[in-house]
Structure 1
Amino acid sequence: MNTSPAPLIPSWTVGGVTVHRVDEVPLPPATGPWLLPDATPEVVTAQDWLHPHFAGRDGILHIDSHSFAFVVDGLRVLVDTGIGNGKERANPAWHNLRTDFLERLTAAGFPPDSVDLVILTHLHADHVGWNTRQVNGEWVPTFPNARYLTTRAERDFWATYDMDEARRQMFADSVIPVEQAGLLHAVDVPSNGAEIAPGVRLIPTPGHTPGHVAVELTSQGETAVISGDCVHHPVQLAHPAIGACVDIDPQQSEATRHKLLGSLADTDTLLLGTHFAPPTAGRVVTHGDAYRLRLVPAS
C-alpha cells in the first residue's frame, strides 16, 4: 500500500479562478550563468531582495521548471508543458528526466485525459516536453482530448528555421506527433492580444522567439499574467536589459520586457513566472529606476 503523502500543489486565487503551479524540477545551479550570462554574481547580490528565494548569497540564481493549470468557464487549461520524461536532450539538465509531473498534475485535479486546452507560450524544449509521452515505443499526445495552441507566427518561424539536430529531435518527439494527431492549432495574435477563452488572452511578447506570448487571466476584476520566457528570472525586473543567451532577437526581447514590466508596475496584477523559483508569484513595483517583485506566497 502506498502511504506516501500527496504532493503539495501551490495555488493562487485570481477572482473566481484558482491557478495551480505544477512543479516539474528545479534546474541546476549552472543554468543561471548559461541562460543569463549578464546576471553576474555582482549584479545579483546587489539586489538584496532576490535572497533567499530567487538567488543565493553567492549570486547563483534559482530557476525552476513548472507549468500552470486552471479552470475557466468549465475549460481545463494547462499553460506550457515543461521538459518531459525520457526525452533525448543536448542539455544534460533536461536529458532523460524521470519526474512525477503527471502525478502532480493529477493531484492538482487535472488528470491528462481531462485537460481541454494546452497553451504553449513558445516552442522551446523546456515548454513542450510533456506535449507527448512514450507509449509502446511511440511518442503520443499526453493530453489526447485537448487543443494545443501556439501562435501562427511561432509555428511559421520554426517551419522555415535551419534547425540543429537537438531542435529537430525536440520537434520530432514533442511537436510533430501532436500535429499529426490533428491537435495543434496555430492562432493569429494581433498586437492588442487575442482572447482564446473567457477571461484568457494571449499577449504578444516577442523577442525570445518571434511568436512568443504571455498569458493574461482575468476574473471578477482581478488579473494575473503568466510570463513564459519574456522574463526568465526576477533579476530581470531590476535589469530589463539582461537577456537570455537563447533569445532570437535580443533587442526586441529587451523592448518587450520594458513594455510588459512598465504595464504591470504598481498595479494589482499578479505576475506568475514560468521559471521563477518558489514563491514564484508577486506584484511588480517600482524600485529605483527599474522594478522589483513584491512576493505573493501561494496558498
Structure 2
Amino acid sequence: MPAPTWTVGGITVHRIEETELPPETGPWLLPGATPDVVAASPWLRPDFARPDHRLRLASHTFAVRAGDRRILVDTGIGNGKDRANPAWHHLNTDYLARLEDAGFPPESVDLVVLTHLHTDHVGWNTRYHDGAWVPTFPHARYLVAHDEWAYWSAAELDPARLQMFRDSVHPVRDHGLLDPVAVSAAGTGIAPGVTLVPAPGHTPGQIAVRLSDAGQSALITGDCVHHPVQLSRPDLASCVDIDPVAAVATRRDLLASLAGTDTLVLGSHFPPPTAGLVRADGSGYRLVPVPAA
C-alpha cells in the first residue's frame, strides 16, 4: 500500500508506518487520559480512541521531499534492539522497505532530523551490519538541537537509556554524521521551506519541524503533542516529560497559534489519519482530520 502522502505547496510529506503501539501504551504514557476524559471528547472515536476509550497510538516517521532534498523526520524504534519496553524489544518490521517504496532508499537521504533523543525517535538511526551498529543513512547529516545534545551529553544515563545511546546515537556520532544545531527562538532553516522550531518541555531541546511553501504550511509535532486528546486537554502531561510545566506551556502556546489556521498538523504518534487542522472546541481544541492524498 502506498505511504499516506500530503503536499504543502511543492513540499511532499509521506507517513512511513513502523508499528501500531499496544493498547497499554496510552494509560502508561498519558495517565491523566482516563476513560472518562477520553469519553468527554467523542470526536476522538473511532480514529484516535478505541471503543473502550483507550487511546490509539502509533510509531511512524515522516519522509519529506523539499526541492532536491530528501529529509527524514525521526527514525522510530528500529529493528532488533535490546529494549526495556517489551513492545519495542527486538522489533521486526518492514519499515525500511516502506521507506524505499516511498522513494527514499537509505543512501538517498540527505538529512535526518531528530526531534529529540528518546528511544522511539532514534531507532532506525542505525542498523546491524557485520557485527556492529552502523548508520542506516550513510550520506545524511543527522541533525539534533544543540540544547538537546548538551543535556543528554551531561546527564547520568540509566542502563536502558545508555544502551539506546550506544546502539542508536553514538555510532552516528562516531562516524562523524551527528550535527548539533543551534535552534533560535524564531526557528532555524535547514532546507528550502523546512524550519526547526523549539518545542521544549518533553525534553529540554525538543524541536518541531515547520514546513512552508507557496502560502501553505504544516507542522510536524515531535512529542510536544503525543495524542489528539491533548488538544481537548492541553494540561495532560506525559509520564516521560522531563519538565511537565514547560511541556504544557509549549503545548498551549502551540495550539493557540494553530487554532483556526490552515496549518496542517502532523502528529508524530497520531494513528491514521495522522494529520489535521486545529479548531477551537469549548474550552479546548479538536483535530479536524485531513486525509492523505
Normalising to structure 2: TM-score of the pair?
0.99
Is contact 2:19–2:60 with CA below 8 Å preserved after alignment? yes
Q: What runs of 5+ residues in structure 1 fail to find an aligned partner?
A: 1-6
Q: Secondary structure at the match of 1:175?
A: helix
Alignment-derived partner of residue 175 in structure 1: 169
> Residue 69 in 1 paired to residue 81 in 2?
no
> Residue 283 in 1 paired to residue 277 in 2?
yes
Alignment-derived partner of residue 112 in structure 2: 118
Counterpart selection for 1:92 from 81, 86, 89: 86
Q: Which amino acid aligns with 2:215?
A: G
Alignment-derived partner of residue 253 in structure 1: 247
Counterpart selection for 1:230 from 211, 224, 229: 224
C-alpha separation in 2, matches of 1:137 and 1:240: 45
Alignment-derived partner of residue 4 in structure 1: none
> Residue 264 in 1 paired to residue 258 in 2?
yes
Deviation at 1:18, TM superposition (A): 1.4
Matches within 5 A, 1:135-146: 135-146=129-140
Q: Secondary structure at the match of 2:171?
A: helix
Q: List per-residue Cα deviations over 1:17-70 (Å, max 9, x = no partner).
A: 111000000000000000000000000011000000000121110000000011
C-alpha separation in 1, matches of 2:198 and 2:244: 16
Q: Which amino acid aligns with 1:102?
A: L
Q: Secondary structure at the match of 2:162?
A: helix
Q: Which amino acid aligns with 1:249?
A: D
Is contact 2:12–2:66 with CA below 8 Å preserved after alignment? no
Is contact 2:11–2:67 with CA below 8 Å preserved after alignment? no
Alignment-derived partner of residue 151 in structure 1: 145
Deviation at 1:219, TM superposition (A): 1.0
C-alpha separation in 2, matches of 1:158 and 1:249: 14
C-alpha separation in 2, matches of 1:146 and 1:75: 11
Alignment-derived partner of residue 29 in structure 2: 35
Deviation at 1:136, TM superposition (A): 1.2
Q: List per-residue Cα deviations over 1:92-117 (Å, max 9, x = no partner).
A: 01100000000000000000000000
Q: Which amino acid aligns with 1:194?
A: T
Q: List per-residue Cα deviations over 1:137-166 (Å, max 9, x = no partner).
A: 100000000000000100000011111000
* RMSD over aligned Cα atoms: 0.6
> Residue 14 in 1 paired to residue 8 in 2?
yes
Deviation at 1:193, TM superposition (A): 1.2
Alignment-derived partner of residue 102 in structure 1: 96
C-alpha separation in 2, matches of 1:288 and 1:57: 23
Alignment-derived partner of residue 55 in structure 1: 49
Is contact 1:194–1:203 with CA below 8 Å preserved after alignment? yes
Alignment-derived partner of residue 122 in structure 2: 128
Deviation at 1:73, TM superposition (A): 2.0
Is contact 2:230–2:236 with CA below 8 Å preserved after alignment? yes
Matches within 5 A, 1:237-248: 237-248=231-242
Deviation at 1:202, TM superposition (A): 0.6
C-alpha separation in 2, matches of 1:15 and 1:196: 17
C-alpha separation in 2, matches of 1:192 and 1:116: 24
Q: Secondary structure at the match of 2:231?
A: helix
C-alpha separation in 2, matches of 1:261 and 1:101: 31
Normalising to structure 1: TM-score of the pair?
0.97
C-alpha separation in 2, matches of 1:151 and 1:17: 23
Is contact 2:265–2:276 with CA below 8 Å preserved after alignment? yes
Is contact 1:45–1:57 with CA below 8 Å preserved after alignment? no
Deviation at 1:198, TM superposition (A): 1.1
C-alpha separation in 1, matches of 2:108 and 2:263: 28
Deviation at 1:194, TM superposition (A): 0.8
Q: Which amino acid aligns with 1:154?
A: E
C-alpha separation in 2, matches of 1:40 and 1:97: 28
Q: Which amino acid aligns with 1:256?
A: T
Q: Secondary structure at the match of 1:156?
A: helix
Q: List per-residue Cα deviations over 1:222-245 (Å, max 9, x = no partner).
A: 000000000000000000000110
